[in-house]
């Protein structure tokens, strides 16, 4: 063979290798983008897709028609900052360090940006951030959405910046758009769409004229939030990347009504979760698979090609649920509340198996006081105009009296059949036919508290809060090993 023939042979071989490699690269699936849209203080049961009978949410309804709807999604603490820290870290409040509102997570933890960057992702956040310290949550800040949840009115949003972030390059992105509605004050939206006398109040909300007016304003904010969701989805579509983007919508914790936010009741901890991923997730499907916010980051890592086992998560990937390969995930979902700094310490812990919820009030001899709900009437009527009317009418209305008593005076244990009593009006803790269920859930809660290194009742909450702000933390170093019982079924 001549030198020319040999050279030609190598040239042809090189070209074939190049073409083969190019074809393989072209055939390889692109890593999906991720868009997470969060509402703020929206009780999931007030949305149409979860049986709500009041709020108009055409954009969320249309989105759900293209998506998988989770009927059993939970967060571990029904307060803004702790639940967001859980979502971004994959760790429960005790282990990430943010165990009450306006407290920092440990600066030593790593979160969504650090975990996705090695996999090629740009990770940004627009709107309400409300997590810290910056070292632990190094998101790229994206402008365009108001980050102040108590502004009156909310600043108009501008999707220019999220469009630029999403379309900046061909590298995959993970973008959180954290809205500030329907957090108080309820001042956005068109209240005239919701005549107060036509509203059907849920049974855990006392019926007074002032409450009806507040609920109408809350519903108007849900509709305003829904319009923002529509604008965000249109913006994604305009980038040409919607077909390769997993979109998650979540309602966060319950609204600022007694029995919702700042509680361990189901209306506080149960959240909406809707997942759309064209060509991967079947549309118009619902699942009873139980998941928690702590499961989201492991799932994103799994989708992005990483290995969740490389991180010490409390959560586990529910990618098989998204792919329709299974209808189960967790066996239990857990919750915690300390009522700090919103009021005097009142530690509460809970666990649910999806059918029953067991709640343990660790200081039942104390009364429950939550300043945001019970102390602002008169000082800032836009934030809480209604609690005083509950107390004022309780003597003449048995149902209102029971709601006030339920909120302020709680027994050591509570047990609810949330399937048949979704607003938890009937405490079944003394029902002899449910003794074994109560025992099982109580033991499971004990095991979780031990796993989380949870001391239960802090000896000095003021000092604990100071320690958290100084990154020392009351709860010390989190354990490295987790029980198998916390794993998915």
Report pLDDT digits (tens) over 312-338: 999 999 999 999 999 999 999 999 999
Average pLDDT over residues 480-486: 47
**C-alpha distance from residue 202 to each of 186, 199, 258, 381 (Å):** 18, 9, 12, 22
Residue 70 CA to residue 330 CA, distance in Å, equals 13
Coil, helix or strand for 359? strand
Q: Is residue 238 within a helix (H) or strand (E), and if so which, with residue range?
A: helix 209-238
380 has pLDDT over 50: yes
Q: Which residues contact 333 (CB under 8 A, 6 or more apart)?
A: 72, 74, 76, 269, 290, 291, 292, 351, 352, 354
21 has pLDDT over 80: no
Q: Is residue 337 within a helix (H) or strand (E), and if so which, with residue range?
A: strand 333-337
Tokens (6 digits) for 277: 């991923």
Residue 182 CA to residue 173 CA, distance in Å, equals 27
Q: Which residues contact 69 (CB under 8 A, 6 or more apart)?
A: 49, 273, 274, 285, 286, 287
Average pLDDT over residues 363-375: 89
Tell me: the pLDDT tens digits for 218-250?
999 999 999 999 999 999 999 999 999 999 999
Residue 262 CA to residue 370 CA, distance in Å, equals 8
Q: Residue 274 has what pLDDT?
A: 98
Report the chain's mean pLDDT, rounded to a whole number. 89
pTM of this prediction exceeds 0.85 = yes
Q: Residue 486 has what pLDDT?
A: 42
Q: Which of 62-71, 287-296, 480-489 has the lowest mean pLDDT?
A: 480-489
Coil, helix or strand for 415? strand
Per-residue confidence at 469, pLDDT binned at 50, 70, 90?
A: low
18 has pLDDT over 50: no
Neighbours of 422 (CB within 10 A): 18
Residue 161 CA to residue 224 CA, distance in Å, equals 20
Cβ atoms of residues 488 and 328 within 8 Å: yes
110 has pLDDT over 80: yes
Q: Is residue 84 within a helix (H) or strand (E), and if so which, with residue range?
A: helix 80-89
Cβ atoms of residues 256 and 384 within 8 Å: yes
Q: What is the DSSP letter of 182?
A: T
Q: Residue 340 has what pLDDT?
A: 85
What percentage of residues in the chain have a pLDDT greater than 70?
86
310 has pLDDT over 70: yes
29 has pLDDT over 70: no
Q: Residue 10 has what pLDDT?
A: 45
Q: Which residues contact 156 (CB under 8 A, 6 or more apart)?
A: none
Q: Which residues contact 209 (CB under 8 A, 6 or more apart)?
A: 196, 389
8 has pLDDT over 70: no
Task: Give strand ranges (E) for 39-139.
Answer: 68-74, 122-127
């Amino acid at each position: 063979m001549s030198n020319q023939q040999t050279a030609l042979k190598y040239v042809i071989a090189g070209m074939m290798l190049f073409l083969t490699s190019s074809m393989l690269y072209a055939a390889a699936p692109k890593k999906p983008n991720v868009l997470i849209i969060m509402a703020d203080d929206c009780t999931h049961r007030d949305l149409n897709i979860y049986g709500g009978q009041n709020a108009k949410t055409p954009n969320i309804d249309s989105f759900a028609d293209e998506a998988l709807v989770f009927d059993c999604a939970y967060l571990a603490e029904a307060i803004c900052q702790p639940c967001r820290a859980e979502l971004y870290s994959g760790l429960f409040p005790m282990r990430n360090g943010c165990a009450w509102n306006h407290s920092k997570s440990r600066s030593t933890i790593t979160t969504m940006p650090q975990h996705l960057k090695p996999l090629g992702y740009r990770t940004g956040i627009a709107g309400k951030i409300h997590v810290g310290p910056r070292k632990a949550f190094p998101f790229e800040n994206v402008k365009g959405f108001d980050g102040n949840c108590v502004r009156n009115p909310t600043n108009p949003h501008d999707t220019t910046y999220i469009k630029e972030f999403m379309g900046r390059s061909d590298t995959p992105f993970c973008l959180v758009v954290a809205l500030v509605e329907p957090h108080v004050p309820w001042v956005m939206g068109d209240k005239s769409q919701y005549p107060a006398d036509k509203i059907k109040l849920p049974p855990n909300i006392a019926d007074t004229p002032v409450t009806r007016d507040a609920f109408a304003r809350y519903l108007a904010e849900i509709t305003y939030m829904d319009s923002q969701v529509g604008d965000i989805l249109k913006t994604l579509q305009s980038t040409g990347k919607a077909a390769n983007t997993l979109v998650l919508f979540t309602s966060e914790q319950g609204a600022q009504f007694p029995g919702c936010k700042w509680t361990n009741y189901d209306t506080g901890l149960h959240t909406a979760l809707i997942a759309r991923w064209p060509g991967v997730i079947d549309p118009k499907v619902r699942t009873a698979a139980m998941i928690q916010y702590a499961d989201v980051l492991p799932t994103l890592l799994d989708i992005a090609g990483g290995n969740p086992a490389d991180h010490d998560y409390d959560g586990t990937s529910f990618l098989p649920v998204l792919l329709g390969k299974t209808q189960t995930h967790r066996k239990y979902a857990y919750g915690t509340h300390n009522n700090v700094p919103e009021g005097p310490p009142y530690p509460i812990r809970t666990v649910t198996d999806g059918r029953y919820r067991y709640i343990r009030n660790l200081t039942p001899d104390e009364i429950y006081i939550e300043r945001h709900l019970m102390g602002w009437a008169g000082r800032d009527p836009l934030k809480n105009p209604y609690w005083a009317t509950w107390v004022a009418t309780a003597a003449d209305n048995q149902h209102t009296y029971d709601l006030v008593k339920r909120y302020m005076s709680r027994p050591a244990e509570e047990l609810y059949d949330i399937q048949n009593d979704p607003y938890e009006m009937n405490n079944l803790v003394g029902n002899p036919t449910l003794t074994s269920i109560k025992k099982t859930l109580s033991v499971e809660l004990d095991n979780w508290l031990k796993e989380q290194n949870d001391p239960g009742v802090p000896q000095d909450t003021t000092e604990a809060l100071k320690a958290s702000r100084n990154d020392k933390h009351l709860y010390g170093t989190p354990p490295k090993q987790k029980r198998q019982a916390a794993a998915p079924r």
